[in-house]
C-alpha cells in the first residue's frame, strides 16, 4: 500500500488555517495533518469543552499551536470574533476551511420547516457567513488566501432522504464556483472537495439512529 505523504514536511509552515467544525471527525483529522505540515491552527465549533480537549490532544500529538474558539457559524458576531481572535493570536490568517455541518436522514414529507431551515442555516448560511467575514478581510488587506469548502458527492447528484443537506451543499458548491471566478482577481482561491460518507460512530449515530445503522451497514450488502 502506498502511504507516502502527498506534501513535504513544513509545506504549510508559517500559514494559519481556520477549520470550522474542527473538534471532531473530518475537521479534526484535517487539522491534525495541517499541524504536522507546520501550520498554525484555529478550530471552532459550538462545544468549547470538545474543542479544548481536541486542541490539547493535537498539540501533544504534533507539537503545533492550536487556538480553540467557540463559534456558532449561524451567528455573524461569533464568526467575526473568530477572525479577531485568530488575528490577535497569530497576526494573520491564510486559509479558511468551511467544514461545520449538520445532517440527518428523514423522509422529506416528514420534515418540519424548522428541521429544513436548521440544516440550511448551518451548512449554507454558516459557510456564507464565514466566507464573507474572512474574504472581506483579505480583500481589504490585499492578501492572497484560500477557501476550502467541504461539500458531498450528492451536491452534484442530489439524494433522497437527506434533501436539506443536499440543497445546502448544492448551494455551497454554487458559492464555491461563483467566488472562484469573482474573487480570483484578489488572489483568493476558492475550492471544494466532496468526500463520501465516513462510517465513524459519531457520523453514524447522528445519521442512522437506532437499528437504522444495522439496516444500512454496507458490510451486510456484500
pLDDT of residue 199: 62
**47-88 pLDDT tens trace:** 999 999 999 999 999 999 999 999 999 999 999 999 999 999
H or E element at residue 34 = helix 25-36
pLDDT of residue 105: 84
Q: Among all residues, which ones are annotated catalytic? A: 154
d(CA 189, CA 179): 8
Q: In what order do the strands lie in the sheet with 66-70?
A: 66-70, 40-45, 16-20, 95-98, 145-150, 188-193
d(CA 183, CA 180): 6
Please state the pTM of the whole predicted model: 0.88
pLDDT of residue 103: 83
Cell numbers found for residue 107: 423522509
pLDDT > 60? residue 98: yes
d(CA 221, CA 46): 36
Closest CA to 86 of 155, 27, 26, 133: 133
pLDDT > 80? residue 136: yes
3-state secondary structure of 177: helix
pLDDT of residue 19: 99
Q: Which residues on neighbouring strands pair with residue 69, listed in sequence order?
A: 44
Instruction: Detail the DSSP E strand segments found in 91-134.
Output: 95-98
**32-48 pLDDT tens trace:** 999 999 999 999 999 99
Correct CATH for 16-213 of 3.40.50.720, 3.50.50.60, 3.30.70.260, 1.10.10.10: 3.40.50.720
Amino acid at each position: 500500500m502506498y502511504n507516502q505523504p502527498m506534501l513535504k514536511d513544513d509545506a504549510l509552515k508559517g500559514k494559519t488555517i481556520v477549520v470550522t467544525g474542527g473538534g471532531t471527525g473530518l475537521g479534526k483529522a484535517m487539522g491534525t495533518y495541517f499541524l504536522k505540515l507546520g501550520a498554525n491552527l484555529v478550530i471552532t465549533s459550538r462545544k468549547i469543552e470538545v474543542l479544548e480537549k481536541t486542541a490539547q490532544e493535537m498539540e501533544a500529538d504534533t507539537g503545533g499551536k492550536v487556538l480553540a474558539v467557540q463559534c456558532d457559524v449561524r451567528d455573524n458576531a461569533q464568526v467575526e470574533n473568530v477572525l479577531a481572535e485568530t488575528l490577535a493570536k497569530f497576526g494573520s490568517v491564510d486559509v479558511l476551511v468551511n467544514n461545520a455541518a449538520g445532517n440527518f436522514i428523514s423522509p422529506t414529507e416528514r420534515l418540519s420547516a424548522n428541521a429544513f431551515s436548521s440544516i440550511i442555516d448551518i451548512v449554507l448560511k454558516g459557510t456564507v457567513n464565514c466566507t464573507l467575514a474572512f474574504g472581506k478581510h483579505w480583500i481589504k488587506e490585499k492578501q492572497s488566501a484560500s477557501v476550502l469548502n467541504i461539500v458531498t458527492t450528492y451536491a452534484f447528484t442530489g439524494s433522497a432522504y437527506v434533501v436539506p443537506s443536499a440543497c445546502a451543499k448544492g448551494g455551497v458548491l454554487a458559492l464555491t464556483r461563483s467566488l472562484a471566478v469573482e474573487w480570483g482577481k484578489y488572489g483568493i482561491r476558492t475550492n471544494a472537495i466532496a468526500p463520501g460518507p465516513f462510517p465513524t460512530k459519531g457520523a453514524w449515530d447522528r445519521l442512522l439512529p437506532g437499528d437504522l445503522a444495522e439496516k444500512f451497514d454496507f458490510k451486510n450488502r456484500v
